[in-house]
Amino acid sequence: MGQNLSCNIQDEHGWFSAIQHGDKETINTLLENDPNIIRKTTVYDRHSALHIAAANGQNQIVCLLLENGSVNPDSLNRYKQTPLMLAAMHGKISCVEKLIEAGANILMFDSLNGRTCLHYAAYYGHSECLQTILSAARTSHVSASWGYSRFVNIRDGKGATPLHLAARQRRPECVHILLENGALVCASTGGYGFPGSTPLHLAARGGSMDCIRELLAWGADRLNRDASGRIPYTVALKHKNGACAALLNPSSAEPLVWPSPLKFISELNQDAKTLLEQALMEVNKERERHILEASGCSVSSHARCDATDIDDNMSEASDSQLCCICFDQLCAIEVQDCGHQMCAQCTLALCCHNKPDPITAALPEPICPFCRSNIAQLTVVKVKVKVNPAEQEVNLYSSSRLQKSRKSRNLSEGSSSFRGLSAVPSFGRMLGRGSGRVSFDHDYDKTVKIEGSG
């Protein structure tokens, strides 16, 4: 009897080890010898084989286990965590996708902190997992029963939303994704952090300039107070985050705010949205530079893109391609109905009049400065680039180029969340007539001619 018990323990140890390392041959052998071994769990944490496979990113093993009808995709360990929670915690995107495809419930809470898989993805900064879970929520029963906006702002056992966790843990890309999907920028916590803290309080405590930029650009109020009456500026000072405190100082200039209440802004295609977001962040970075210089603070320099700079080999654009409002930037945005064109920065100036109040009714549509008609839809200007000698045409503001640039974002401290969009002209200058030159990342050095959008 003792010998049989020893053999069982050895088999279980070999089983979990094979699951962890993705040893399919050993797994199949053990399953043939004892089909019931698939239901075994570890002694203390009560992890199932599916928990271990998901946490270690063993997607093939996850698929193999899910094919067995006796495996529950929502099995619970000692802390009532599901395999999906562990996959999101460790950033195993392929396992997250497979578990959701198999019907894993995204609306389950653990017993440690009352958190969901969305909380875990935000806390650990796994933006791809976060986006996948949010996409699943839009098309699942969660959206129909709970409501999508409620899910995005779901609270854990201490009253923290995923946005609170992402801001506190210095996860700017997750902060941006959550804000884009309707996270409440001024929501207060319960017992998480200091009671009554907003995401801006937590970002000030964590000292993340990038998170603070994102939150301010989406309308976070610098005057919101926590339960002890502290504003984010006071929190930043207390934790010796001087540069953050300079930006959060109520006496410093207000940043531009993304005009989310405007209906046509929510309907922008991704290219136009990215260009306008880039323009907004560049304007705010220029404001930050002046604030930090005046306060004597400094932040780490922005990392340069490694792409070859071919600006010196580029012919100057004709005057007709420059924005007729600022005479400094190339036209990048077109008003769809009337066809008038502006640079992204001037377009934003028409939309970002004041910080939007989410309580008031929808704001009236901005008016085209050229023909005075209402702006109902914006699109990206189709500027084409000819590359000699191949005479190849490239759409300067194409989605693929913007996506390629977004992949090269530098998320290091002090850098912009939209850094790397070198296809877009610099939006920081408003000093009279410029050269009209543009530069973009390219892996070869050739003379480029710019054609008008005609």
* Residue 412 covered by a domain: yes
* Residue 316 covered by a domain: yes
Q: Please identify, among 115, 147, 179, the residue that sits at the C-terminal boundary of a domain.
A: 147
Q: What's the CATH number where 201 sits?
A: 1.25.40.20
CB 186 within 8 A of CB 226: no
Burial class (CB in 10 A: 0-12, 13-18, 19+), 263: exposed
Cα separation, 241 vs 363, in Å, equals: 36
Nearest-CA neighbor of 181 among 260, 89, 104? 260
CB 240 within 8 A of CB 279: no
* Residue 257 covered by a domain: no
- Backbone φ and ψ for 449, nearest 5 degrees, come out as -110, 140
pLDDT on residue 378: 83
239 and 279 in a common domain: no
* Residue 54 covered by a domain: yes
Rounded to 5°, the CA angle 396-399-400 comes to 90
282 and 222 in a common domain: no
List all residues 6 or more positions away from 422 whose beta carbon is below 8 Å from its beta carbon.
305, 307, 405, 439, 440, 441
Burial class (CB in 10 A: 0-12, 13-18, 19+), 433: exposed
CB 75 within 8 A of CB 51: yes
Q: Please identify, among 147, 166, 190, the residue that sits at the C-terminal boundary of a domain.
A: 147
pLDDT on residue 362: 53
Q: Which residues of 181-212 are buried (b: 16+ CB within 10 A; e: fewer)?
A: bebbbebbbeebbeebbbbbbbbbbbbbbbbb
143 and 161 in a common domain: no
Per-residue pLDDT of the chain (454 residues; tens, 9 = 90+): 334 434 455 667 789 999 999 999 999 999 999 999 999 999 999 999 999 999 999 999 999 999 988 899 999 999 999 999 999 999 999 999 999 999 999 999 999 999 999 999 999 999 999 999 999 999 888 888 889 999 999 999 999 999 999 999 999 999 999 999 999 999 999 889 889 999 999 999 999 999 999 999 999 999 999 999 999 999 999 999 999 999 999 999 888 888 776 767 777 778 888 888 888 888 888 888 888 888 777 554 443 333 333 333 333 344 447 888 888 888 888 888 888 888 888 887 777 654 445 555 556 667 888 888 888 788 888 755 555 555 444 444 544 444 444 444 333 333 333 333 233 333 333 333 333 333 323 333 333 333 333 3
421 and 380 in a common domain: yes
* Residue 40 covered by a domain: yes
Sheet with strand 384-387: strands edge to edge: 392-395, 384-387, 448-451
Q: Please identify, among 221, 252, 283, the residue that sits at the C-terminal boundary of a domain.
A: 252
137 and 31 in a common domain: yes
311 and 219 in a common domain: no
CB 61 within 8 A of CB 19: yes
346 and 321 in a common domain: yes
Domain assignment of residue 191, given as a range = 155-252
412 and 304 in a common domain: yes
Q: What's the CATH number where 403 sits?
A: 3.30.40.10
62 and 32 in a common domain: yes
Work out the widest C-alpha separation in the chain, in whole angstroms: 92
pLDDT on residue 144: 85
Q: What is the number of residues in the chain?
A: 454
- Backbone φ and ψ for 112, nearest 5 degrees, come out as -75, -60
pLDDT on residue 160: 97
142 and 163 in a common domain: no
Cα separation, 337 vs 345, in Å, equals: 20
299 and 235 in a common domain: no
* Residue 258 covered by a domain: no
Cα separation, 331 vs 345, in Å, equals: 10
> Looking at the 3D structure of the chain, how many domains does it have?
3
Question: Which H, E and C letters describe the chain, residue by residue?
Answer: CHHHHHHHHHHHHHHHHHHHHCCHHHHHHHHHHCHHHHHCECCCCCCEHHHHHHHCCCHHHHHHHHHCCCCCCCCCCCCCCCHHHHHHHCCCHHHHHHHHHCCCCCCCCCCCCCCCHHHHHHHCCCHHHHHHHHHHHHCCHHHHHCCHHHHHCCCCCCCCCHHHHHHHCCCHHHHHHHHHCCCCCCCCCCCCCCCCCCHHHHHHHHCCHHHHHHHHHCCCCCCCCCCCCCCHHHHHHHCCCHHHHHHHCCCCCCCCCCCCCCHHHHCCCHHHHHHHHHHHHHHHHHHHHHHHHHHCCCCCCCCCCCCCCCHHHECCCCHHHECCCCCCCECCEEECCCCCEECHHHHHHHHCCCCCCCCCCCCCCCECCCCCCECCCEEECCCEEEECCCCEEEECCCHHHHHHHHHCCCCCCCCCCCCCCCCCCCCCCCCCCCCCCCCCCCCCCCCEEEECCC
Query: For the chain, first and last CA: distance in Å?
Result: 87
Tokens, residue 43? 């002694």
pTM score, whole prediction? 0.72
The alpha carbon torsion through 270, 185, 409, 420 (nearest 10 deg) reads 60
Q: Which residue bears the tokens 């693929």?
A: 400
317 and 176 in a common domain: no
